[in-house]
Structure 1
Amino acid sequence: MRKKFLIWTLIIYLTYTLGVLLYLFVLHDPGVPQAAEGSAADPAQFLGTREAEEIREYATLRHLLYLLTLPVEWLIYTGVLVFGLAYTLKKAAFSKLPLYVFFLSGLVWVLTLPVSYAGRRLSLSYDVSVEPFSKWLQDHIISFSLDTLLMITAALVLYRLIRMSAQRWWLYAWLLLVPFLAFFMYIQPVLIDPLYNEFDRLSDSQLEERILSLAGGSGVPADRVYVVDKSEETNALNAYVNGIGDNLRIVLWDTTLRSLEEEEVLFIMAHEIGHYVKNHLLKSLFGALAGSFIGLYLLYRLLPVLLHRFGSSFRIKGTGDIASLPLILLLVSLLSFLAQPVEMAVSRQAERAADEYALEQTGDPDAAVGAFQEMIRHGKSDVHPPALIKYLRYGHPTMLERIRKAEE
């Protein structure tokens, strides 16, 4: 079985790689459609020739890296199962679930670290990232620590529920997920985000007053605007409104503040405020809960079938055996991937609505176009990405679509 796994993995991955190369370098036209030539969305109108070419190169390489590394996590979990490492790690952890989760998480983290590093090197070489290695590694260690603690907690609860109720564990797990996700959204701005970056109050009191006036007129309960020091990591531009209740925060990246004109900043903030006004944060929470309900039910149905077929080969005794965790994580990852196009489509619709709201509130399409063009320049954003990349990765409309909408 192990030899067959290696042979077929190699054959399938090489075939997949050839398909990716053909799609990106032969079938996809990286230029803008003919109808958009000469418009404000055409990079030739606001970028130099070399700069536009550099953005196309970076975007293509970034898409290539994403597609080629997409199956890596699935291959790791499958390899752990096929080569009996699920059982080996269980023995090494003395059948203690927290230690088992730590070993498994550590293995996956180490094996996927080169993928993350390759992405960092690519961003550095095109001046999108400016993050020192020490900061990059620190952030990855923080993420690993938080993710592992969450996974240990989730695994302890999940296996307890499985042993309590073999038929209803998925439903009980979902019911516990509801308050957890809401609580996480509440604490993220004040407890999680500051672990990665420093947040200060916007020093430009006049600009803060204009932003808060815009927010207050839209019913956003904020009394200050925060600036986060993203310039030590990236040249890209962004802003956001996150959190719920009295922990809601309006946040500007310092790169955005430094690179855009005041009217362009106001448009960006009006867009983010639009998410709050249109309840996109709560809708996102409800969407996550609906998706997790379906996902947990499918997991409940699929696990016994796969364990009946492969359980003895993987040396897993049953659903309640902690050695089944790699299989659970593999299925969760695959189900999440299958749901991704739907999630991205819903997100793009929300972003369109936020753009429309910002255009209505500011009445300044020139500021919108200017902001989008600077986001392209500083973040090396692909104006017209391949359709497959758009449907899999783009939670926003493409820059071509956003600029054309503002022009209209």
Structure 2
Amino acid sequence: MRNPGAMGLALAGATLALPARAAAFDVDHATALYLATLGPVARARSDAYFDGRVWIDIVSSLLTVLVCWMILRSGVLVRCRDALRRSGYRPWMVMLTVSVLFLVCLTLIELPWTILIDFVRERRFGLMNQSFGGWLGQQAIAALLTLILGGGLLTVINAVMRMFPRHWWLVGAGVVGLCVALLGLVAPVFITPLFNTYTELPAGPLRTRIGAMAAANAIPAENIYQFDASRQSNRISANVSGLGPTVWISLTDNMLKQTTVPEAVAIVGHEMGHYVLGHVWRDVVFVTLLSALELWLLAKLGPMAIALGGRRRAVRGIDDPAALPVLVGVLTGLSLLFLPITNTQTRLAESEADAFGLNAAREPDGFAASAMKVSTYRKIAPPAIEEALFYDHPSGLTRVRMAMQWKKDHVPGAKEVTPPPLPNP
């Protein structure tokens, strides 16, 4: 029997010496060979990046709650509401204007923190390709979209509150679900081109393989694009986005530069899994149900939050336009509380797409190699409890092991490979 010490790499440990080759195909040993391609410097860097990101997400949510409380206490929304009402504006116009003012205040107050975590930190870890001016320009586009879409959604939710005072949370959840579905429909056509340039993927072995996979799984393959994600970062990714007539397959130029055809096909096969398995619609249902729970809790907690904010007399209820900081602050806190649930739901869908992609592409080594390449910014082998709570994707260890198990089960005479080491950051 092979000596376990010869593995040289505990699958969830920190030692990264290259394991000795096993005499026959062994899932754990083949997995260890792939994990050994991530050197100690790169592994320490990816662990630090991911661990920091978890804490940053928590702090960001708490910061949003604090800023909402500050805006509520300032009374600026109360004064804006009263001025608009005295001028005779209709309720929906009052709500829309107050919503835009609130979102502008929230964005500007949080801007220094956003610069620190989304530009400075990303550049420090070598994941940011944009200049500060380019990054700020795209942030401005995103902020404008937030004002338009967010302000519109808040206005509709407020109208629902006034029309259905007892069951607004239930109707409001339906509105949220409908908006998520509509966004999935229009985003590929109207939103993503605002940030990147899309061009047809040229003919060649990769497009041929993608077209064959799409045809085998009844996926529309008329629109297969590449886009210039390298202008933002070095990350590799692909997606099958849109609904109905707006479905298209898109690959980043980073992926075309940094992966082999088997690796790229494995990634696209995973993305096709989301489409074929109906994950978009399942996500819409999940978001609708979770929104119903969060809005119901908001209806219960909102009056208490208004009282704690010291604006009980000026803000007359949760349907008051000036109560927007309460609505957003409470929902942000609830989203943080329910984060393990949303992570689990997303992670399960990603795991299902992984299994689909392995069956569709039949490239287990390509899948394992691509999983290792994204591990340069994702913690490769977290403790099980950490993966369950904080991961919205399976860890690299989980994905590589799944690929090697698939290889053992489906490839006659499966042989281990010794992949080349990944470059140090």
Please give the alpha-carbon distance, in whole angstroms, between the structure 2 residues aligned to 1:50 and 1:343: 32
- The aligned counterpart of 1:227 is 226
Residues in 1 aligned to 2:220 and 2:35: alpha-carbon distance in whole angstroms? 42
Equivalent residue letter for 1:143: A
Would the alpha carbon gap of residues 163 and 209 (structure 1) be closer, same or farther in structure 2, given more than 3 Å must change?
A: same
Residue aligning to 1:348 = 347
Letter aligned with residue 341 of structure 1: P
Query: Identity across aligned pairs (percent)?
Result: 25
Find the aligned partners of 1:391 and 1:300 in 2 and give their Cα distance.
30
Distance 2:294 2:307 in 1: 20
Structure 1 position 47 matched with structure 2 position 26: no
* Structure 1 residues 374 and 151, CA gap change in structure 2 (3 angstroms): closer
Equivalent position of 2:379 in the other structure = 382
Amino acid at match of 2:328: L
The 5 Å alignment of 1:51-200 reads: 51-90=42-81, 96-119=94-117, 120-200=119-199
The 10-residue stretch of structure 1 (114-123 or 311-320) with the greater mean CA deviation from structure 2: 311-320
Say which structure is richer in helix: 1
Instruction: Decide whether aligned partners of structure 1 residues 74 and 215 sit closer, same or farther in structure 2, where only a CA change above 3 A counts.
Output: same
Query: Which ranges in structure 2 are unaligned for 5 or more consecutive residues?
Result: 1-9, 20-28, 87-93, 406-425
Question: 1:154-207: CA deviations, max 9, x gaps?
Answer: 232233333333223333333444433322211111111111111111014332
Give the number of equivalent residue pairs: 376
Residue matched to 2:391 = 394
Q: Which runs of 5+ in 1 are unaligned?
A: 1-30
- Amino acid in structure 2 at the alignment position of 1:397: P
Kindly indicate whether the alpha-carbon contact (under 8 Å) linking 1:270 and 1:361 is maintained by their aligned counterparts in 2: yes
Cα distance, 1:285 vs. partner? 1.3
CA contact (8 A) 1:62 1:122 kept: no
Pick from 394, 404, 407: which aligns with 2:404?
Answer: 407
* Corresponding residue for residue 287 of structure 1: 286
Answer with 1 or 2: which has the greater Rg: 2
Evaluate the alpha carbon distance shift between residue 387 and residue 86 of structure 1 in structure 2; reply closer, same or farther with a 3 A threshold: farther
RMSD over aligned Cα atoms:
2.7
- State the 1:262 CA deviation: 0.4
Alpha-carbon contact 2:185-2:246 (below 8 Å) kept: yes
**Contact 1:82-1:313 at 8 Å conserved across structures:** no
Deviation digits for residues 189-247 of structure 1 (CA, Å, limit 9, x no counterpart): 11111111111110143321210110110111221311111001111111111111010
Question: Contact between 2:173 and 2:292, CA under 8 Å: does it hold in 1?
Answer: yes
Quote the residue 1:21 is aligned against.
none
Deviation of residue 109 (structure 1)?
Answer: 0.6
Distance 1:34 1:163 in 2: 56
Q: 1:260 offset after TM fit, Å?
A: 0.4
Q: Matched residue of 1:46: which SS?
A: coil
Cα deviation 1:129-154 (Å, max 9, x = unaligned): 11221221122111111111122222
CA distance in 2: counterparts of 1:47 and 1:35, whole angstroms: 11
- State the alpha-carbon separation in 1 of the partners of residues 263 and 311 from structure 2: 61
SS in 2 for 1:166: coil
Mapped to 2, the partners of 1:44 and 1:134 lie a distance apart of 38
Cα distance in 2, alignment partners of residues 364 and 93 from structure 1: 61
Task: State the match for 2:332 in structure 1.
Answer: 333
| CA distance 1:360–1:296, shift in 2 (3 Å) | same
Deviation at 1:402, TM superposition (A): 0.9
**Cα distance in 2 for residues equivalent to 1:63 and 1:183:** 30
Q: Would the aligned equivalents of 2:35 and 2:372 in 1 still touch at CA under 8 Å?
A: no
Corresponding residue SS for 1:316: coil
1:241 to 1:177, Cα distance in 2 relative to 1, 3 A: same
Supply the distance in 2 between the matched residues of 1:43 and 1:213 (Cα, whole angstroms).
28
Which is bigger in relative contact order (C-alpha 8 A, separation at least 6)? 2
Larger displacement relative to structure 2 (33-42 or 331-340): 33-42
- Given that 2:160 and 2:171 are in contact with CA atoms closer than 8 Å, whether structure 1 keeps it comes out as yes
Once the two structures are TM-superposed, the CA of residue 387 in structure 1 deviates from its matched residue by 6.2
Secondary structure of the 2:286 match is: helix
Residue equivalent to 1:249: 248
